[in-house]
Amino acid sequence: MDIPHQRLVYFRVTVESGSLRKAAARLDIAPSAVSRQIALLEAAFEAPLLERTPRGIRPTPVGEMALDYCRRRGDLDDDFITRLEAYQRLETGTISLVVGEGFINDLIDAPLGAFAERYRGIRLDIEQAGTDEIIESVVEDRAHIGLMFHERVHPQIRFWASSDQPLLAICPPEHALIRETQPISLQRLSETPMALWKPGHGVRRLVDQAFVQAGLRPQVAVETNSMAVLRRSVVAGMGITLLPRFAVAHELADGNVVALPVASALFQNSQAHMITRVGRRQPQASLKLLRHLGAWMQAFQCSSDRS
């Protein structure tokens, strides 16, 4: 049954006012118009809604049920408006992010903390994934925002922000490569034990592509799907690895590793990307976060080669 909202308003105001005349005055319409709308409601319910008493009108049993419905519907309307206004003021809502593991420290350290502090009612849903899953999650609207390394063309992906982030040789401070005065050649890297991502990972694809083009093969000492294992392998002296600077910012700051440029166009032209789906209308909270991360994450600032 479709119950026009305006008729319910007329009925509720009439009950609260105690007479058709007072209700009409409150609503600023003719008493006959109020009477006509209530009559239409009674016809729809197939029962009288009001009865006259010496003290005025009062609801019948069916009228009591209708009045209760009016009040609950009004409460729902008020609750919806309150929640909508809170959402528009960025006091509530959920933003979903799917990110490569190398972005985690950079994301959490300061930018996301500052955003969460400012917008305490916003819930952040963060998942870690590889490049293919990041793209899939964004394209299928399971995530508002994706953070990934190394570009992959997709017709439904918008590159909201991109930054040059060369793939660097990450070495222990005492490693022999530190003495090199020029960017490290792929030939030199091929002679050095390395800790690398497992095949299929976006960074590993880039590494393999560069070595294949050079007619070389990397010397893999450790193969993993864990960023933590890559970092610890270098710190422990088990080999070097290949990562962008932002992925090892903590280790560089602590002096546990050194980042060296590599003589590879593929490595030097690699980028970090913040992506969204083409055509998706982002909520205000998501737009705020996109701008915030673009301004404050190290991954989206220009990177120097050597440290």
Half-sphere exposure of 26 (CA within 13 A, CB side): 16
How far, in Å, CA of 92 to CA of 112, rounded? 16
- pLDDT < 70 positions in the chain: 1, 82, 85-92, 302-307
109 in the same domain as 66 = no
pLDDT (tens digit, 9 = 90+) per residue, 3-20?
A: 788 888 888 888 888 888
255 in the same domain as 172 = yes
Look at residues 88, 118, 141 and tell me which one is the last residue of a structural domain. 88
195 in the same domain as 261 = yes
Number of domains present in the structure of the chain:
3
Cα distances from 27 to residues 17, 34, 125, 299, in angstroms, run 11, 9, 47, 59
Q: What six digits make up the tokens of 8?
A: 């319910």
pLDDT score of 253 = 93
40 in the same domain as 20 = yes
How far, in Å, CA of 262 to CA of 282, rounded? 38
Neighbour order of strands in the sheet with 258-260:
241-243, 168-171, 258-260
In a domain, 305, yes or no: no
pLDDT score of 153 = 76
Domain harbouring 288, CATH code: 3.40.190.10
Q: Residue 264: which domain range?
A: 168-268
Q: Which long-range contacts (CB under 8 A, 24 or more apart) does 54-58 make?
A: 55/18, 56/18, 56/19, 57/14, 57/15, 57/18, 57/19, 57/20, 58/15
Half-sphere exposure of 42 (CA within 13 A, CB side): 16
pLDDT score of 152 = 74
Domain harbouring 25, CATH code: 1.10.10.10
Look at residues 65, 88, 111 and tell me which one is the last residue of a structural domain. 88
In a domain, 12, yes or no: yes
pLDDT (tens digit, 9 = 90+) per residue, 274-305?
A: 999 999 888 888 888 999 999 889 998 865 55
In a domain, 306, yes or no: no
In a domain, 131, yes or no: yes
pLDDT score of 246 = 93
Half-sphere exposure of 49 (CA within 13 A, CB side): 26
Q: What distance lies between CA 51 and its chain's CA centroid?
A: 56
151 in the same domain as 277 = yes
138 in the same domain as 78 = no
139 in the same domain as 71 = no
pLDDT score of 304 = 54
In a domain, 225, yes or no: yes
244 in the same domain as 109 = no
Look at residues 23, 55, 88 and tell me which one is the last residue of a structural domain. 88
The size of the chain, in residues, is 307
20 in the same domain as 82 = yes
How far, in Å, CA of 283 to CA of 303, rounded? 30
264 in the same domain as 187 = yes
pLDDT score of 118 = 84
Sort residue 90 into left (φ over 0), alpha (ψ -120 to 50) or beta.
left
256 in the same domain as 182 = yes
